[in-house]
Structure 1
């Protein structure tokens, strides 16, 4: 619950979320400080979904 509070999630928010959604948010928050060497282009995205 502490980590959810740090994300600004209320008990009402959690009622409509799965654990997977909460885990995804926690992972994204942990990655906020990461610097990536490569930014995907539209061609990369098209190749991924192509």
Structure 2
């Protein structure tokens, strides 16, 4: 029941749920929760390239 409540809170329709699997919805919930986080340091393009070794 919590799963459907969270889907409704994100505004997902039943038609949209037909196209998404369980894991994709939980990933979306996690990302939505992280949208409200403030980070002291945010990596830029230079740091991203250093991280991937490019």
TM-score, normalisation: structure 2: 0.77
Query: Where in structure 2 are the equivalents of 1:1-50 lying within 5 Å?
Result: 1-50=4-53
Name the structure where helix makes up a greater proportion of residues: 2
- Cα distance in structure 1, aligned partners of 2:50 and 2:19: 34
Which ranges of structure 2 fall in alignment gaps of 5 or more residues? none
Q: CA deviation at 1:49?
A: 2.6
Q: How many residues align?
A: 50
Cα RMSD for the two superposed structures: 1.2
In structure 1, runs of 5+ residues without a counterpart are none
- Supply the distance in 1 between the matched residues of 2:27 and 2:15 (Cα, whole angstroms): 18
Provide the C-alpha distance between the structure 2 equivalents of 1:44 and 1:35, rounded to a whole number of angstroms. 19
